[in-house]
Structure 1
Amino acid sequence: MTGAALVVAIVGPTATGKSDLGLALAERLDGEIVNTDSMQFYRGMDIGTAKLAPAERRGIPHHQIDVLDPLDDASVADYQRDARADLQGIAARGRRAVAVGGSGLYVRALLDNMDFPGTDPLVRARLEARVEAEGSRALHAELERLDPGAAAGIGPRNARRVVRALEVIELTGRPYSSSLPQHVYEVPAVQIGLDCDRAVLDARIESRVDHMWEAGLVGEVEALAAHGLGRTAARAVGYAQVLALLAGELDEVEARSAIAAGTRRLARKQMGWFGRDPRVHWLDAQDPDLVERALELVAAADEGGLAPPTVDPAPRRSLGS
C-alpha cells in the first residue's frame, strides 16, 4: 500500500448513516467503496442487512458485497486477503478507497497489523468434544488460567471462541491474546466514527425494522431458508428472529420487537468496539454539515496535520446502558 492515498474508513453503530456518508465521500473523493459489514458479504441477504441496491450506489463501484453464499461461513483471513487486493486495485486506478461498515473485526483485519494463526481439525474436534462433555464454563476456566487477558474478553458461554482461543494456545505455545489485533495500522487510514444520541438511534432502529418488514423481510428469509442458511447467516439479527417466526416460535409482534432489541444490542456492542479504538475521530451523525466535517478530517489527514482524537467520553456515553 506504499504511496496509496489514505483509506477513509467510516465506522460506528448500525443505523447511524454510514452508507450515506460513504457514498457522499466516495463521490467527492473519486472513490470506490470496500464493504466492512460482515452480513453484506452474503448474496440474497439484502433487506435485513440494509444493503444498498445497485441502483442506489450512484455508479460507485462496491467491493466485498455479495461475495458469499448464505451457506458459507465468513473467514476473516480470507476477507483480509481479498479486501486488501481490492485496495491495491483501487490504488492502481488512482482512486480513493472508502471502507464502510460496522463489523469491527473486519475493519481491523482490513487496516491493522493482524495475523491469523492456523487451525488443526483434530485439536479443534477434541476441544469441541470436551465442551460437550464438560461444558463451556470448564474450558473457559482453563482459558482463564492459561490466558487471563483472553478469558476476560470472551464470555464463558461463547464456546466457539473459547475453543478457538485454546486451539491457538495449543498450536502456537503463545497466549491467544498475543495474536489479537493491536491499534497499529498496516494500511494507512483515517477512521471517522458516527456517533448518535441514544434516543435518536433507537427511533432510527425502530423505523428501520418497520421499513424492512414492509419491504418484504419475511419473504426474503423464506427464500433464503429454502436455499439453505449456514450457521453465521442464520444467526444474523433480523434473520434469526424471522426464522423463529416461520418456525412458529414467535408471532409477528414478538419477532419485530426481537429484531429491534437485537439491533439495539448490536449497536451498543459496535460502539463499545470502536469506542475503545483511540484512533477514531467521532462526528455527530445528525450534524447538517456532516459531509463537510468528514472532508475536513480527510484533508487534514492527507496533509499529515490531523491531531489525535480528543479524549472525549461523549460518544461512549451516548449509547451506554
Structure 2
Amino acid sequence: MPTTSTPPIVAVVGATASGKTGLSLDLAERLDGEVVNTDAMQVYRGMDIGTAKLPVAERRGIPHHLLDTLGVRDPATVAEFQGWARAEIGTIRGAGRTPVLVGGSALYTRAIVDRFEFPGTDEAVRARLEAELDEVGSAVLHERLRQVDPEAADRILVENGRRIVRALEVVEITGRPFTASLPTLDYADPRTIQLGVDIDRPTLDVRIEERVDAMFGAGFVDEVERLLDEGLAEGRTAPTAIGYREVIAHLRGELTYVEARDRTVFATRRFARRQDSWFRKDPRVVWLRYDDPDLADRAVAEVSKIGQAATGP
C-alpha cells in the first residue's frame, strides 16, 4: 500500500516523434527516476532502428526497463505487458525512486495506469479466428468487427490482425462490445499523472518524414533482413510493427525501396493521428508544448502538484 512518501507514477504520452523520449529523460534526471518503456515493440531485441529505440549511450546513465526482453518470435499481449510493467513500477517505487513511463502504445499505457481487468480467453474461438485471419486477411475481419463493434473498429488499424482477432474473440465470449472491456478513466493509483507532449500536426508530419528517412539511412533494411534470419516473419507480434512489415514486403519483392519508405511515412503519420486522438479523449492528460523552452521545469511543476495528494489503496 502506498504511503505519503511513495513517489508518484509519471507517464509521458503523445504522438510518435513528438519529443516524449527527451522529456522522459529530463524528468527521470530531475525526479530521481527510472524509465519504464511502454512501447509494445521496443521489448523486442534487435528491433532498434525501426522502433527508434534509444541507444544505451544516450540514456544518460538512467536505468531503463522493459527494453530488449523478448525475441522476435515471442508473442506479447497487453495483459502480459501490464503485469511486467506494474512489477517494475513496484520495484522502482519500493526503492524510493520515481517511475517515468514513456512509449507510443496508448492502450499499453492505459492498461498499466488505469484499473483494467482483462476478459478471459477461449482457445478454440481464438484458434478459429486466427485461422480465418490467415485465410481471408485482416481487412475482412476488420469489416466484421465494424458490424458488431464500430467503436472498436475505429480504434484498431485494419492491418492489426492480432488485435482484430482479440476484439472479435471478446465480443463472442462475453456478448459485449470489445470496447466495454477497455480501461476506464480511473487510475489504479491516484498518485499518477499523465503529461502529454503537445505538437502541431504540420510540424509532426515533417518530423515523422525526417525520422523515417533517418531510419532507412541508418540501415533499417539491413536490420529487418537480419531479424528475418532470426525468425521475425514467424512471430505473431513483432512483424506487425510499422515499418517492419513494409520493409519485409520490400525484401520479398512486393514493394520497391521507395514504396516501402513512403508507405512507412504514411502509416506512421496515420498511427500518430490515432495516438493523438486517443490521448486527447482523456481529460486527465496535462498537455505541455513540445517547443516550450521551460518544458522540463513545467513538467516537474505539474508532477509536484500531486506530491502531497491523498493516497489510495
TM-score computed with the length of structure 1 as normaliser:
0.86
Q: CA deviation at 1:152?
A: 6.3
Question: Are 1:71 and 1:233, in contact at CA under 8 Å, matched by a contact in 2?
Answer: yes
Which of 215, 222, 226 in structure 1 is aligned with 2:225? 222
1:286 matches 2:291: yes
1:210 maps to which residue?
Answer: 213
Distance 1:103 1:76 in 2: 10
Partner-residue secondary structure (3-state), 1:10: strand
Which of 122, 125, 133 in structure 2 is aligned with 1:123? 125
Distance 1:22 1:284 in 2: 14
Q: CA deviation at 1:5?
A: 1.7
Kindly provide the CA deviation profile for residues 9-41 of structure 1, in whole angstroms up to 9, marking residues without a partner as x: 100000011111101110010000000111111
Listed as ranges, the matches of 1:63-212 within 5 Å are 63-128=65-130, 136=141, 139-140=144-145, 143-144=148-149, 150=152, 160-187=162-189, 188-212=191-215
Q: CA deviation at 1:168?
A: 2.6
Amino acid of the residue matched to residue 77 of structure 2? S
Distance 2:204 2:157 in 1: 27
Which of 21, 24, 35 in structure 2 is aligned with 1:22? 24
Q: CA deviation at 1:159?
A: 6.0
Seen in structure 2, the aligned counterparts of structure 1 residues 143 and 159 have a Cα distance that, compared at 3 Å, is farther
Distance 1:194 1:137 in 2: 31
Partner-residue secondary structure (3-state), 1:178: helix
1:248 matches 2:258: no
Q: CA deviation at 1:185?
A: 0.3
Distance 1:141 1:102 in 2: 24
State the superposition RMSD in angstroms. Answer: 2.5
Distance 1:165 1:200 in 2: 34
Question: Are 1:150 and 1:177, in contact at CA under 8 Å, matched by a contact in 2?
Answer: yes
Q: CA deviation at 1:162?
A: 4.9
Question: Are 2:15 and 2:273, in contact at CA under 8 Å, matched by a contact in 1?
Answer: yes
Amino acid of the residue matched to residue 254 of structure 2? E
Distance 1:84 1:166 in 2: 27
Which of 220, 233, 241 in structure 2 is aligned with 1:236? 241
Amino acid of the residue matched to residue 33 of structure 1? V
Distance 2:22 2:43 in 1: 18
Distance 1:126 1:2 in 2: 44
1:308 maps to which residue?
Answer: none
Distance 1:52 1:129 in 2: 37
Q: CA deviation at 1:281?
A: 0.6
Q: CA deviation at 1:136?
A: 3.0
Q: CA deviation at 1:242?
A: 1.4
Q: CA deviation at 1:171?
A: 3.3
Aligned-residue sequence identity (percent) comes to: 54
Kindly provide the CA deviation profile for residues 241-292 of structure 1, in whole angstroms up to 9, marking residues without a partner as x: 2112212222222222221111111110110111111110111111111111
1:276 matches 2:278: no
Partner-residue secondary structure (3-state), 1:94: coil
Q: CA deviation at 1:169?
A: 4.0
Question: Are 1:80 and 1:110, in contact at CA under 8 Å, matched by a contact in 2?
Answer: yes
1:296 matches 2:298: no
Q: CA deviation at 1:219?
A: 1.0
Amino acid of the residue matched to residue 58 of structure 2? E
Seen in structure 2, the aligned counterparts of structure 1 residues 303 and 65 have a Cα distance that, compared at 3 Å, is same
Amino acid of the residue matched to residue 287 of structure 2? W
Point out the more displaced range, 207-216 or 26-35.
207-216
Point out the more displaced range, 250-259 or 77-86.
250-259
Amino acid of the residue matched to residue 65 of structure 2? H
1:262 matches 2:267: yes
| Alignment size in residue pairs | 302
Q: CA deviation at 1:59?
A: 1.1
2:64 maps to which residue?
Answer: 62
Seen in structure 2, the aligned counterparts of structure 1 residues 175 and 202 have a Cα distance that, compared at 3 Å, is closer
TM-score computed with the length of structure 2 as normaliser:
0.88
Amino acid of the residue matched to residue 2 of structure 1? P
Seen in structure 2, the aligned counterparts of structure 1 residues 209 and 149 have a Cα distance that, compared at 3 Å, is closer
Seen in structure 2, the aligned counterparts of structure 1 residues 243 and 152 have a Cα distance that, compared at 3 Å, is closer
Point out the more displaced range, 295-304 or 62-71.
295-304
Distance 1:57 1:100 in 2: 13
Q: CA deviation at 1:178?
A: 2.9
Distance 1:174 1:55 in 2: 47
